[in-house]
Amino acid sequence: MHRRGFCLGVGASGVSAVVAGSAVAQEVLDTDRSAVWTADVDFLLAELPRRAGHFFAAKKVDWPAVEAEFRAAAKAVKSDAEHVVVCRRLLARLKDGHAGMVDVKVAVPDESRGRRWTGPRVHLVVIGDGVFVRTAFGAAADLGVKAGQRVTTIDGQPARSWLEMKVAEMRDDTGYSTDHQALYAACHWGLAEWEGTPITFGLGEETGPVRELTIVRSGGPNFAPLGPAVFPGGLKRIGRQSHGVLPGGFGYIHLRDVPSNLPEQLDAMLVQMGAAPGLVLDLRGNGGGGCDHAAVMGRFVPKGEFWGEYESAGSMPFTGPMVVIIDAGVRSAGETVAGMFLEESRAYGLGDTPTAGMSAAKATLTLPSGMFSVRFAVRTHMGRYNRRRGIEGIGLSPSEQLPYDPVELRAGVDTQIRRAEALLRGGFPEDTVDYQPPDRRKPD
């Protein structure tokens, strides 16, 4: 802690020193702090691979390179605030979407200057080799940005190159458990900056000229997709969940999160949905949470029956065919919920990418200096999934990987929902879903 006219420091030995104006004394103080910073970094470099090193192969973590980078970085630190930043960057090298600092006792510089962190009200999606507008709303829509438009450039760079640059920039400071999770984040979180800063897009249709459009970021936290690219009309809300009936008569439920009362929310939604001939369970953008997973699965098992280890539950369980839609925005408990349906072959899976791959039990370590603690993944959840490799660092893959169609986006059609309805009408590909509804079972 620094005050005008004197400095207060705590050496590695734990002895406090108060020194007045002496350059020599200040040098001794800095040396003492350097020992503290080095001890913290050494601790992390030893403990993180010991506790999380079993993930390194799947996540392609080169720990010897990390050690070399951060032993050098530790030597350049000049303050506690710089030390916190360096350790945060070290933690990001775990490629762990849950990793972070807790109980930080050091104030770091505030770069906001009173501004909000906000986006341009545009979300992007990578389709094949191209980058397209997934969603545009608010001021961006008012300026003529439309879903399905091709994005040729961002701030003067080729759009895909800009996204890859943004992925590298974000991963330097934040952990992402998979490459597809990091790219997904770059397509919306990566567009955010301090309020009042501009971003320029080169936008074009399939044919015709490209126009440049500059958007000045404004508004609140509007930079994360809420779920599908196009929400069906006429949906009702229960908590953060949405539900209704699609034009084809099939039920539709979008789960935005996994609250503790999700089983009870499902009871209410299923009663209101009635006897639909099929159900689309959409988890895109699900941010996780925590609930009784067996109770959730029980809402989709016929009364009086089991499906695998899961027993029927709820007042009106849904027993028909199901399609579950996922994307890289499905993380943590959202992945374990989706995984029950896909791994237990209760439903057919659709999505343009696997899920985020960040679902694990966490551990917390307090640093030797006591300046902060770190929290990170140590054991994957659902270790029986993915042929006993679990979820962390991998994600869950859909039965059918289906990219968005830019033409459909321009027409206001959600490609995955359209395909889900077609599957419920025509039936699933052979040998993809084990579950058979009671009214379709063959007599013994």
Task: List pLDDT tens digits, range 247-263.
Answer: 999 999 999 999 999 99
Are 153 and 209 spatial neighbours (Cβ–Cβ below 8 Å)?
no
pLDDT of residue 223 exceeding 90: no
275 pLDDT more than 90? no
Q: What's the structural domain count of the chain?
A: 3
SS3 state of residue 411: coil
SS (H, E, C) 218-269: CCCCCCCCCCCCCCCCCCEEECCEEEEECCCCCEEEECCCECCCHHHHHHHH
Residue 135 has pLDDT above 60, yes or no: yes
Question: Is residue 297 domain-shared with residue 406, that is, in the same domain?
Answer: yes
Distance, CA of 104 to CA of 303 (rounded, Å): 50
**380 has a pLDDT exceeding 90:** no
Mean pLDDT, residues 160-171: 97
Say if residue 212 is in the same domain as residue 251: no
Other Cβ atoms closer than 10 A to 249: 12
Same domain, residue pair 199 and 173? yes
Q: Are residues 242 and 161 in the same domain?
A: no
93 in the same domain as 142: no
Same-domain pairing of 80 and 149? no
Q: What would the mean pLDDT of 402-424 be, rounded to a whole number?
A: 97
The reply to whether 94 falls in a domain is yes
- 0.85 cut: is pTM over it? yes
Tell whether the model's pLDDT for residue 199 goes beyond 50.
yes
* Burial class of residue 55 (count of CB atoms within 10 Å of its CB; 0-12, 13-18, 19+): buried
Is pLDDT at 12 greater than 50 in this prediction?
Answer: no
- Residue 74 maps to a domain: yes
Buried/exposed code over 212-246 (b: 16+ C-beta within 10 A; e: otherwise): ebebebbeeebbebebbbbbbeeeeebebbbbbbb
Last residue of one domain, picked from the residues 51, 67, 102: 102
**Residues of the domain holding 408:** 236-359+395-439
Q: Please check whether residue 192 is in contact with residue 216, taking contact to mean a CB–CB distance below 8 angstroms.
A: no
- What does the buried/exposed string (b/e) look like for 88-112 if buried means 16 or more CB atoms within 10 Å of the residue's CB? bbbbbbbbbbbbbbeeeebeeeeee
67 and 166 both lie in a single domain:
no
Neighbours of 20 (CB within 10 A): 8
Residue 443 confidence (pLDDT): 66
- Are 72 and 211 members of one domain? no
- Same domain? 316 vs 173: no
Q: Is the pLDDT of residue 22 over 60?
A: no
Q: Is residue 371 part of a domain?
A: no
Q: What is the DSSP annotation of 259-301? A: -TTHHHHHHHHHHHH-S-S-EEEE-TT---B---HHHHHHTTS
Domain annotation covers residue 27? yes
Q: Final residue of a domain: which of 70, 102, 134?
A: 102
Q: What single-letter amino acid sits at 203?
A: L
Looking at residue 45, its pLDDT comes to 98
